[in-house]
Every structure is written in C-alpha cells, then in structure tokens.
Chains A and B, each alone.
Chain A
Amino acid sequence: METALGYFLMSWLDPFLLLLVAVGTLAGIYIGAIPGLSVTMAVSILISFTYAWDTNEALALMVGIYMGGVYGGSRTAILLNIPGAPAAIATALDGYPLAKLGEAGRAIGVTTVVSFLGGFVGIAALALGAPLVAEISLMFAPRDYMLLGIMGLLLVASLAGESLVKGVVAGAIGMLISMIGLDTMSAQPRLTFGSSALLGGVSYVAVMIGMFGIAEALAQLHGYAAPAVKQKVDKIVPSLSTVLRHLPLTLRASAIGVWIGALPGAGGDIAALMAYDHAKRSVKKPSRPFGQGAYEGLVAPEAANNAAVGGAFIPMLTLGIPGDAVTAVIIAALFIHGLRPGPNLMVDTPHLFWFTVGNLTLANIFLLVFGLTGIRLFAKIVEVPKAILLPIVVVLSVVGAYAINNNPADVWWAVGFGIFGYVLKVYGYQLGPVVLGVILGPIVEANFRRTMIAVRESWAGFALELVSHPITLVLTIGILLSILRGTPLWPKLVGMLRGRAVDASR
C-alpha cells in the first residue's frame, strides 16, 4: 500500500514531473480547444518527440495532454459552435445556445467543474476497477484476447462513421498495414512486394501521424477561410448551489462515461453522446428546453467525456487493448519505451499503474485551475486563423515522423498515409478504425493463430472454443450483437422487443 502511494505521489513530489503534467494539461486544453487540432493528433505527433525521454517524463506529459484535451474541446463548442474535439460534439448542442444568450462565461465555468468531477469518477474507477480487471484477465486465454480485439474494432467501426461496413473496411485496412513485414511467428516476409525496405514493416507511428496529423490538416482546408468569431467571456466560476443542483446528473453521466470509456474501442465522443441522450430522457424539468441552452445538456456530456478518460485506461493498462484512439497512441508509446501493457503490467511494472493514476489525478486538478483562469489568453489563441495553424501542423507532423527512426522514408510514409487517409475521410471512412486496426491487428492475429494451433487447425474445435468459457461466451455474444447492430435486422429486432415489453406492461 505504501509503495503504491509512493508511486501515486511520484509526479506530485518531483518538480520536473509536476511541471510536465501541468504543461501537458495546459497544452491539452488549448490544443483541444482549437478546432482542427485534436488531442489524438497532438499525442500522435508528440510521442515521436519523446523517444529519447525517460518513460515517466513522456507519460506525464501525454496523460496531461489527454486529460486537458478532452476538456478543451468544450470551449470552442460553447463559444463558436465548433467542437474542438469529437468528445465535445454533444456539448455544442446546448453550449452554443447558451453563448448566444450571453451566458458563455457561466457555461464554461459549469463545464470546467463537471469535467473535473467526472474526471475524478473516472480516475476512481480506474484505481479501484483496474486491479480487479487485471486479476480476471489473468484467466484470459488467447481466444479471449482475439475476441476482445475484434470487439474493439467492431465497436469503433459501428459507433463512428457513416456505416458499419465502412468501419469494417477501415479496420481491415489497418490490420493489413500491421501485417506488412516479417511475420513474428515464422519470420516469413509478408506483403512486401519483394522490397527489402518493407521487411521491417511500416512504423505505426508514421501511420498515426499521417492519419491524424496530415489527413486532418488536409481535411481542415475545406472551409479554412471561415473567420474566427470573437467572443466576450466574463466571470466564469460557478456558484456552489449551481454545482450541487447538477451533482446527481454529473454522477450518473460520469458512470456512463466510465462504462463506455472502458469498452474497448469506444471513447469520450460516444460516452458524451450517450450521456446527453440519458440527460434528455431522465431530466424532466431542465433549466431550459434541450437544444436551447439547457445546463443539463452541458453537464451530462462534459462529465461523461472526462470520466471516459479514466475508463479508457482500464482496458489499456490491464488488457493491452486501447479504450479509444488516444489510448491506442499511448499504447504505441509504451511499446516504444519497452513496456508491454496487459495483465502482467501490474505485476512486472506496478509503478506504472499507480504513477499513471497519480498523473491523471494531478492533471485533473490542473484542469480545474487552468480551466477557470487564463480566459483572455485563450480567446486570443482560438482566434489564430487556420491559414497559419494548418501549415504548422504539417511541419510538426513531418518533424515527428522523421524523429521515429531518423529515416526520411518514415516522412514519406506519413505523408502517403496522410493523403490516403484524407481521401478515405472525404468518402466517409473513419480513420480511428484504421489506426486501431494497426494496433489491434497483431494482437488479434497472433491470438487467432495460437487458438488454431491449440485446436489443431480444426474449425469445429475453434467454434467450440468460442463458447467454451463464460468470459469467452460473453465476448462472442458481444461481437455478434455488434455485427447485428449494423444490419437492417437490428431496428426490427429492437422494435419487436419493445412491442413485447409494451404488451407485457398492459
């Protein structure tokens, strides 16, 4: 216990680590707030710069950026009706009407406090739940990891983007990219087209920088010339009675955030939309009608998306499965620093878990401090035109891609994937599943092959394996439901079940 506390307080007591968490959170708030600069983009570009760093320093900065970035997106959602991050899409629905009513300052204050509270609920869930999940996950067989990986891909594919089919296509593209190079089990070259340059595979960081940095910058060039709107923001600290009035909803939305965040592949954006939907259904007397400036419509998504941060770390640290796109990038960073997230992480490197919990807690406190101050500076930064911002993003992406191996080829890969990702994005293919496919591909494939070897390559034996254990059965059912959800059968099935429920209640 004492050791855990020591690891938890590491960043609190080390001035340099403390500074890194603070700088990360501050940078995250501003990066998250600037439309076009996403947290995923920031973390993707950043990890390549932290290779030479000590692992703890790199993690301290990244955790800060993640926590701050998820919150920062709400600022522009409220002020400009442009969510700075996908997790703030739901926030704009009632946030912008509040700004039009002249209550932008109060709205920002409320979102800051509920984000802080939601963040704490997520961190508590991580601290209490992760050791339990890690213990259960020690019982996981290779088939369970394979199923978890597939479930993550299907979830992100079905919940984001235009259709499940496009999500699956994007995920399969990512998995194919992950298979380029020497096979890890047989050392046989795969998909190299005879080129020795491809034997080492494609750097997943180059793919990430391309997809989240360059592709995003190119996509942002559509309508880049829209003028930045100037807003006047006054006093923002909310009263205690306001906070207390919204506390029950904050806690309920935070619980949703933790749950959705902990699902492999689903992150703050989905959590926020689900919490908004929950608020609409459960709050009978909102401060104003939803969509017209209801504070409840701000509270629910903002508490949920920050709670999802702690939730997303649970599968990442305990199973090695990313909870969302940002944790996928953080997993890549851990690999680069020689760490292997998964059930043995808490046994092999217990300090890392409590160190991360400590960093998240610290980042959450900084979020409250920076969130309630520095509004004037914030207003200036948000007004920077995209004409200046986007070329800088490209230069940072290029520097980041080169820093992976000091190899110009990685820069060309990043730009190539950036242009390819841009085209996919324009045609409604989400890039999140591509990157998750790159990260999850090796996990899914290696565990599939292990399972197949265990059942002596018998498909009947494989099918039996999928229902052979309660954990496996739950995962198999989860996957089947995810697939069913994307088919035309799903609405019919839901309608049928609802009809029966109504009949039964009569």
Chain B
Amino acid sequence: MTPAQPRHPGEPVLTLVLIAGTLLVGREALRISGFSGPSSPGFGPLAMVAVLLAGLAVELIRTLRHRPAEPEPVAVRLRRLAAAVLPPPVAGAIPLLLLYLVGLEVVGFVPASFLFLAISIALLLRGRSLRARLLLAGTVAAGTVAVVRFLFQELFQVLLP
C-alpha cells in the first residue's frame, strides 16, 4: 500500500522543472530516429521520456491536490523551502565544492584539497574557539591530504587530479 505522502516545500516547482527538462530531452530523443519503429535507436529514449512525463504528471497532480488549506505568506514559504532544500551548511557547501573543482584544475590536487578540507571543517565545526577550529581543521586537512596522496598515488597507483 502506498502511504499518504507529504508535500515537500516547493515540490510543484521541482516537478515542473523536471517536466521541462524531460521535454527538452524528449525533443532531442525525437531527433534520433523519430517514431520509426520499436527496435529503432530512438524508441528507448522516447519510451523513457513518456514514462517520465506520465510519472511526473501524476506527481504534479498529487502535489497540487495537497495544497495547504490556507495559503501561507511568500516569506514563510521561502523560509520553509530554504530550510528543507538549502539549509546554511548545504548552501555553503555547494559553492565551496564547485570552487574546489575549479581549484583542482588551477592549482592542483594538494593545495586545492587542503584548502577545501580546512575551510569546510573550520566552518562546520562548532563549540570551539576560532583558533582551535582553525588549528584542528588545518591539522586534519594536512593529515588527510598526506594519507590520500600516499595511499592512492603510491599504494593504489591511482593518478590524482
């Protein structure tokens, strides 16, 4: 039995974004071989697009049906959305992660990883003074980079980014 599902904050918007993305993929799938036959290379992608659109339509109807009885002010809705999807640690981690990837290409693995680890750990650690956090974060970051470099490059013979 399918239990009653909650409606997540901003779910109709996400469903609409997924539908838009699926339509874009559908247009690309249509270019492969059109509707030329079930064993053609384009049939699989088109079939999956159809499954996705059907599923997402069901989800959209469900989420729209589960609207709150009394509409909440936009500010409250945005706050709930931010808390559910982008709480401060995640909102900070995603740009930091992207910067890390850029750093890997610009300065290489060791400095980029050290900085990423040190900054993330220092920001995430709580209940300590700034100096203690920086010291611990720096030590852990240096230790981790050294171990990863030795373990993977020397022992596993894996090239590092």
Contact = CB atoms under 8 A, between A and B. Distances in A.
Interface residues of B, number: 64
A392 B117 contact: yes
A391 B121 contact: yes
A506 to B, nearest CB: 26
Interface string A167-199: 011001101100100010110111111000000
Interface string B46-70: 0011011001101100100000000
A165 interface: yes
Contacts of B52: 169, 172-173, 176
Contact of A218 (B29, B39, B93, B124): B93
Given A183-B41, A388-B121, A423-B14, A399 B101 contact: no
Interface residues of A, number: 72
Contact of A387 (B38, B41, B121, B145): B121
B128 to A, nearest CB: 10
A179 B45 contact: yes
B105 interface: yes
A5 interface: no
Given A398-B161, A457-B37, A457-B38, A162 B44 contact: no
Contacts of B98: 415
B70 to A, nearest CB: 23
Contacts, number: 176
Interface string A428-470: 1000000000000100010011001100010100100000000
A491 B1 contact: yes
A419 B94 contact: yes
A347 interface: no
B25 A191 contact: yes
Interface in A189-233: 189-193, 214, 218, 221-222, 224-225
A126 B46 CA distance: 38
A6 interface: no
A163 interface: yes
A427 B11 contact: yes
B124 A390 contact: yes
B87 A387 contact: no
A387 B125 contact: yes
Contact of B159 (A172, A403, A459, A487): A403
A164 interface: yes
A50 interface: yes
Nearest to B24: A193
B11 to A, nearest CB: 6
B126 interface: yes
Contacts of B6: 162, 428
A64 B8 CA distance: 38
Interface stretch (A74-82, A237-245, A365-373, A404-412): A404-412
Per DSSP, are chain A's interface residues mostly helix, strand or loop, or mixed? helix
A334 interface: no
Contacts of A342: none
A166 interface: yes
B138 interface: no
Contacts of A185: 41
B91 to A, nearest CB: 10
Contact of A221 (B58, B89, B116, B126): B89
A48 B104 CA distance: 18
Interface in A95-151: none
A486 interface: yes
A172 B51 contact: yes
A81 B32 CA distance: 51
Interface string B13-53: 01000100000010011001100011101111100110110
A471 interface: no
A189 B31 CA distance: 10
A445 B116 contact: no
Contacts of A186: 41
Contact of A488 (B2, B32, B144): B2
A408 B157 contact: no
A277 to B, nearest CB: 14
A176 B148 contact: no
B134 to A, nearest CB: 13
Given A193-B28, A486-B2, A491-B1, A166 B148 contact: no
Contact of B84 (A162, A392, A419, A426): A426
Given A162-B3, A168-B55, 18 more contacts: A163-B2, A169-B55, A175-B44, A190-B29, A190-B45, A222-B87, A224-B124, A388-B140, A394-B100, A398-B100, A398-B104, A402-B159, A403-B152, A423-B85, A426-B84, A449-B43, A452-B37, A453-B39
Nearest 4 interchain pairs by C-beta: A387-B124, A391-B120, A169-B55, A183-B41
Interface of A: 48-53, 162-166, 168-169, 172-173, 175-176, 179, 183, 185-186, 188-193, 214, 218, 221-222, 224-225, 385-388, 390-392, 394-396, 398-399, 402-403, 406, 408, 411-412, 415, 419, 422-423, 426-428, 441, 445, 448-449, 452-453, 457, 459, 462, 486-488, 490-491
16 contacts: A52-B158, A166-B59, A168-B51, A168-B55, A172-B52, A185-B41, A186-B41, A191-B28, A385-B125, A391-B116, A394-B120, A398-B104, A399-B148, A408-B101, A449-B39, A449-B43
